[in-house]
Structure 1
Amino acid sequence: MREYKDYHKSIMVNEVLDYLITVEDGIYVDCTAGEGGHSKAIYEKCNGKARVISVDVDYEVLGIAEKRLKELSYKIDFFKAPYQEIDIVLAGLGVKKVNGFFMDLGVSTFQLKGVGRGFTFMKDEPLDMRMDLEADKTAHYVVNEYSEQELSKIIFEYGEEFRFSRKIAKRIVQARPLNTTFELVEAIKSAFPYSEIRKRKRHFATKTFQAIRIEVNGEFNNIKTALNKFGNYLEVGGRVVVLSFHSLEDKIIKTFFKNDERFNLLTKKPLIPSEEEIKNNPRARSTKLRAAEKK
């Protein structure tokens, strides 16, 4: 297991718990265990009376969670699985109903800072970006095998890089083969005038990297699949709480809950972190929380 020192700071913990926990002795599923922060908070909020099922598709980050929470292993069940297959996990456990599902759709600190994952443009690494290291599709495949039109489409739609998506896609194709994150960054950079790079508040590669990561991991389709399955397992009055970090993710979540007759949307407007939390944890700045209750 690779180690690193900067553990992930769980976001909006109090708000998550306020919406998620309805009964202390319930069953709660943390579908994106990450490094275990929210799972531990759920357990503690329920005074040790709840059963927590903690799932993550990334076996490396799940290993960190298990190690950090080993003293709670008798109360928290850890499983390596994608959240869109939560029905398989629950069936294997013989669990028919649960009281709450939680999803944190962000990339963990380990995935950003752990060596060799290729999620960040801040380090030169192989183009990977898989959350599930057993999956076939990598960022290398997307960057080098997708057509210029396909690349432009995902950069426009998933990255919301509206003005420069076509030019970025063109420069990526021209620069092939691309094998590392820094090579991809240079291709992206060549698509921008210097004046545009200077005036942007965020790094010029942020949106393109985001788009490729979403494509590699099939994130948007997986969210819809998971939300639909949650409705089949929730007790009446049970809750779903989701933290999203992308406007399109938030739109998917809001639309699903508004249109699915099994749910009441509890958050007409998404909750956002406090100014103090953002100050203490800048990664929280784009977070939106949505919650819904099973009718």
Structure 2
Amino acid sequence: MSSPANQVLQHRTVLLHEAVDALVQAPDGIYVDATYGRGGHSRLILERLSPQGRLIAIDRDPDAVAHATQGEARVTDPRFSIEHAAFAEMATVFARLGVAQVDGVLMDIGVSSPQIDNPARGFSFRFDGPLDMRMDPTRGESAAEFLARAEEREIAEVIREFGEERFANAIAKAVVARREAGEPLRTTSELAQLVARCVRTREAGQDPATRTFQALRIRVNAELEELEQGLDAALAHLKPGGRLAVISFHSLEDRIAKTFIAGHSKAVFDRRAPFAAPPQLKLRAIARIKASADEVAANPRSRSAILRVAERTGEGVAV
């Protein structure tokens, strides 16, 4: 496997203008970039804000926080601040900053290019490195630690549910067999080679390890639970007329965002209580946007991206 040694790790912001155009409706408002990454969305949001506007950035990756606060790329705009936190901690961040309501929240789900392309982070099967996969390497257990202690059944469930991998049972069995032989998996190349031996049929253009790596990353970072809690916190703090914008990169994430928005924007008739008062809806679905052909050609990682946008309704809006 090759390594991107000595190259600058870059990140192309996906759906940059589409997301910011949909998000920023009040230039004097308070906005949240809940996944700072390398600051692409944040910088454009700041361009759209007035001198009275404010941007709160959040990221669970210490490298992203350092990028925003140190070196040549640091953000010196007085309207900007960044917090080292995960989605699930968004409400705590707001409380600590004394922010009761915000005008918009952007959540760009998934892994950034610098995370994927840095072998030391262990996210990619393309480069040999420690089998880590934590978005915040200061917390929790790594993928290697999970595979070293989890039972075969749990490993198979994770790979099947989060990776939608047909050969999950075979992969889990091989992981445990290797562990019991005194050779637990420690590197990305070891895992990728093990998976390649277990996956009997391959999808065109896709490495056999793709689904397993995705599954373990989601499990290690509790990504789906974090997303659900982040959506709840965002909705709880959005002003009427405020916007929620969510960019997802695979079906599991998009399903959560879609279901969340639909659940708060569509009235469901209850046949058991036909004369009950109509529900108080909290969101109005605005848009579903995919990357353009030009963006996909320039950045293949944007191919699966879906942006969903919703607007907070006024209090007491019945539909």
Q: TM-score, normalised by structure 1?
A: 0.93
Map of 1:165 onto structure 2: 168
CA contact (8 A) 1:4 1:110 kept: no
Q: Which of 299, 304, 310 is 1:292 aligned to?
A: 310
Match of 1:79 among 64, 80, 83: 83
Contact 1:31 1:54 in 2 (8 A): yes
Question: CA, structure 1 residues 90+3, in 2 after alignment: closer, same or farther (shift >3 Å)?
Answer: farther
- Distance in 2 separating the partners of 1:207 and 1:141: 19
Encode CA deviations 1:146-195: one digit per residue, 9 max, x unaligned: 1111111111111111x2111121122222211111111111011023xx
Rounded to whole Å, the distance in 2 between the matches of 1:27 and 1:3 is: 39
Instruction: Determine if contact 1:103/1:243 at 8 Å carries over to the other structure.
Output: yes
Match for residue 47 of structure 2 among 44, 47, 50 = 44
Q: Whose radius of gyration is greater, 1 or 2?
A: 2
Match of 2:121 in 1: 117
For 1:185, which of 182, 189, 192 is the aligned residue?
192
Residue aligned with 2:211, SS: helix
Match of residue 243 from structure 1: 247
User: Kindly tell me: are residues 291 and 77 of structure 1, through their superposed partners in 2, closer, same or farther at Cα, counting changes over 3 Å?
Assistant: same
Structure with more helix by fraction: 1
Judge conservation of contact 2:243–2:312 (CA < 8 Å) in 1: yes
- CA distance in 2: counterparts of 1:4 and 1:64, whole angstroms: 17
1:2-31 per-position Cα deviation (integer Å, ceiling 9, x unaligned): 996132010101110121011111100001
- Partner residue of 2:271? none
How far 1:49 moved relative to its partner?
A: 4.6
Distance 1:76 1:200 in 2: 44
1:203 to 201, 204, 207: 207
What amino acid maps onto 2:103 in structure 1?
N
Alignment match, 1:266: 286
Partner of 2:56: 53
SS at match of 1:102: strand
Matches of 1:258 and 1:273 in 2, distance apart? 22
Q: CA deviation at 1:46?
A: 2.5
Q: Which amino acid aligns with 2:303?
A: R
Distance 1:182 1:209 in 2: 11
1:280 is aligned to 2:283: no
Identity %: 38
Does residue 33 of structure 1 match 2:53? no
CA-based RMSD = 1.7
Deviation (angstroms), 1:262: 1.5
Provide the rounded CA distance (Å) in 2 between the counterparts of 1:279 and 1:46: 30
Aligned with residue 177 of structure 2, among 166, 174, 183? 174
Mean CA deviation greater in 181-190 or 111-120? 111-120
Q: Which runs of 5+ in 2 are unaligned?
A: 265-280, 314-319
Rounded Cα–Cα distance in structure 1 between residues aligned with 2:78 and 2:7 = 26
2:57/2:81 contact within 8 Å kept: yes
**Aligned pairs for 1:89-104 within 5 A:** 89-104=93-108
Q: Name the aligned partner's letter for residue 9 of structure 2.
A: D
4+ residue runs over 2 A deviation: 45-50, 65-73
Task: Name the counterpart of 2:229.
Answer: 225
- Aligned 8 A contact 2:124 2:188 in 1: yes
The question of 1:134 aligning with 2:141 is answered no
Asked if the contact 1:3/1:114 (under 8 Å) is kept, the reply is no
Secondary structure in 2 aligned to 1:266?
strand
Unmatched 5+ stretches in structure 1: none
TM normalised by structure 2 equals 0.86
SS across alignment from 2:134? coil
- Judged with a 3 Å threshold, the aligned counterparts in structure 2 of structure 1 residues 73 and 172 are, in CA distance, closer, same or farther, namely same
Counterpart CA distance in 2 for 1:8 and 1:110 is: 6
Alignment of 1:22 onto 2:25: yes
Please give the secondary structure, in 2, of the residue aligned with 1:5.
Answer: coil
CA distance in 2, matches of 1:71, 1:220: 29
CA distance in 2, matches of 1:47, 1:6: 32
Select 1:156's aligned residue among 154, 160, 166. Answer: 160
Mapped contact 1:40–1:69 kept (Cα < 8 A): no
CA shift for structure 1 position 50 = 2.2
- Equivalent AA in structure 1 for residue 193 of structure 2: E
Alignment partners' CA distance in 1, 2:187 and 2:251? 28
Q: For residues 220-278 of structure 1, what are the alpha-carbon distances to aligned partners after superposition, in whole Å with 9 as ceiling and x for unaligned? A: 011111111111111101011010011011001111111133212223xx311001001
Distance in 1, matches of 2:21 and 2:245, equals 10
